[in-house]
């Protein structure tokens, strides 16, 4: 069954506004919800936040008042969608529990995208990044056990393993080495453009989240760990956003954004286990079809091309949240010692990398290392969730 969003009719824009009652969505059940439902909610929140911020940036470059008014109308609906989506979260979760869920999204969404990405250079970018968020999950899980006395499996269930990836302290690279080469907008497969937008948006919301919630903790180790990982999420946003071809016109970018929203709502509608949440995905898909139609009109008028020239003829296979354990273990055993040099990857610590490491460590251990030592001291062990056996790298095997 093929679905071409350019051929489908959505809800007319003037019928999309919701009142307070309609916006007041029923949150998911904190004890019984599928962890991957929470992951889909977080992903779509990141996508809607990007839709809003992209539209603001476009408006700031747009001298035509009428155009600005149209952007404002659609953007207000995006803002309502963001509220409906993010308010599906049940409110009971602590900041650290939400953090664990954010890193679970980063792990299983990026791993899926890496598996599906047809372009070798882009695939490498996702494989590189996913091993870092995988390690963040392990560091935060230890902080969680230490300060909330709970285990991360309460959040991630048995779906995502928790153990060391590329050690977090080694993620601090010279910023110059975080910039990748972009895909070529004329030759890249449509799915590659969607992947890049999706992961960029997810990492951006994680960066924003840590920037805001980090100082809400009183425990010095928590404050420091959020600072450290917050800076790495800045590196990740730089890494992923540089994959997008900056030669796309504003209208082409708008078109890709709206198309990606259609793609993801459709994907999640197809794969959602919670019927109430599924209804929201379906409603929002029907709104996005109209956003896409409007963006297509603007693209034709201002870019002078047909949307069919740049978009996929039908939606690609749905983005799916599912365990990626074997894939991640394979990456850990082959790519754990990678770093970047210029726009490529190397396996040895080069001079620019070492200078950056020295400067930022200031002769001390990073918070991400101390959090493990501290938890071992306080809980008598470090936290791991190895459902599929011992760690694939011998030197990182768990010794009690």
193 binds Fe ion (CB under 5 A): no
108 binds Fe ion (CB under 5 A): no
The answer to whether residues 388 and 333 touch, using CB atoms and an 8 Å cutoff, is no
The encoded tokens of residue 29 equal: 């059940």
Q: What does the alpha-carbon distance between residue 90 and residue 155 come to, in Å, rounded to a whole number?
A: 13
Q: Which of residues 271-310 bind Fe ion (CB under 5 A)?
A: 288, 291
40 binds Fe ion (CB under 5 A): no
236 binds Fe ion (CB under 5 A): yes
Q: Which of residues 195-224 bind Fe ion (CB under 5 A)?
A: 203
Closest separation between CB of residue 261 and Fe ion, Å?
4
Binds Fe ion (CB under 5 A): choice among 136, 171, 172, 180: 136
How many C-beta atoms surround the C-beta of residue 16 within 10 A? 20
173 binds Fe ion (CB under 5 A): no
Q: Tokens 């459709």 label which residue?
A: 266
Binds Fe ion (CB under 5 A): choice among 133, 252, 374, 382: 133
Binds Fe ion (CB under 5 A): choice among 97, 127, 261, 290: 261
Q: Which is nearer to Fe ion, 127 or 233 (by Cβ)?
A: 233
Binds Fe ion (CB under 5 A): choice among 5, 36, 44, 78: 78
3-state helix/strand/coil string of 28-48: CCCCCCCHHHHHHHHHHHHHH
What DSSP state is assigned to residue 396? Answer: G
Closest separation between CB of residue 321 and Fe ion, Å?
17
Q: What does the alpha-carbon distance between residue 355 and residue 350 come to, in Å, rounded to a whole number?
A: 9
What DSSP state is assigned to residue 314? Answer: S
How many C-beta atoms surround the C-beta of residue 38 within 10 A? 27
Element holding 391 (H helix, E strand): none
Q: Which stretch binds Fe ion (CB under 5 A): 51-59, 63-71, 353-361, 387-395?
A: 51-59
> Which residues of the chain form contacts with Fe ion (CB under 5 A)?
48, 51, 78, 81, 106, 133, 136, 203, 233, 236, 258, 261, 288, 291
């Amino acid at each position: 069954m093929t679905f071409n969003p350019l051929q489908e009719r959505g809800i007319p824009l003037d019928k999309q506004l919701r009142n307070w009652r309609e916006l007041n969505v029923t949150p998911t059940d904190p004890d019984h919800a599928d962890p991957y439902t929470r992951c889909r909610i977080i992903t779509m929140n990141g996508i809607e936040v990007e839709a809003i911020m992209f539209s603001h940036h476009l408006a700031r470059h747009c001298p035509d008042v009428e155009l600005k008014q149209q952007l404002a109308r659609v953007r207000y609906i995006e803002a309502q969608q963001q509220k409906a989506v993010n308010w599906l979260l049940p409110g009971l979760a602590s900041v650290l529990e939400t953090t664990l869920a954010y890193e679970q999204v980063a792990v299983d969404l990026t791993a899926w995208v890496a598996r599906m990405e047809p372009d070798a250079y882009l695939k490498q970018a996702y494989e590189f990044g996913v091993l870092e968020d995988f390690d963040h999950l392990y560091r935060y899980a230890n902080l969680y056990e230490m300060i909330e006395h709970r285990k991360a499996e309460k959040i991630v269930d048995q779906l995502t393993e928790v153990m060391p990836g590329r050690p977090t302290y080694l993620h601090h690279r010279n910023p110059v080495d975080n910039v990748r080469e972009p895909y070529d907008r004329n030759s890249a497969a449509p799915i590659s453009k969607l992947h890049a937008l999706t992961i960029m948006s997810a990492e951006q919301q994680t960066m924003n989240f840590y920037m805001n919630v980090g100082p809400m903790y009183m425990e010095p180790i928590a404050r420091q760990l959020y600072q450290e990982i917050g800076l790495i999420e800045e590196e990740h946003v730089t890494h992923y956003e540089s994959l997008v071809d900056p030669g796309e016109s504003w209208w082409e970018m708008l078109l890709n954004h709206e198309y990606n929203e259609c793609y993801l709502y459709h994907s999640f509608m197809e794969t959602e286990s919670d019927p109430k949440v599924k209804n929201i995905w379906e409603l929002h898909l029907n709104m996005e079809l109209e956003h896409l139609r409007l963006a297509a009109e603007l693209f034709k008028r201002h870019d002078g091309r047909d949307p069919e020239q740049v978009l996929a003829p039908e939606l690609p296979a749905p983005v799916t949240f599912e365990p990626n354990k074997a894939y991640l273990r394979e990456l850990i055993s082959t790519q754990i010692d990678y770093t970047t040099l210029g726009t490529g990857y190397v396996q040895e610590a080069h001079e620019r990398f070492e200078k950056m490491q020295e400067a930022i460590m200031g002769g001390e251990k990073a918070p991400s290392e101390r959090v493990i030592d501290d938890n071992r001291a306080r809980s008598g062990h470090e936290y791991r969730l190895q459902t599929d056996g011992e760690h694939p790298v011998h030197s990182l095997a768990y010794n009690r």
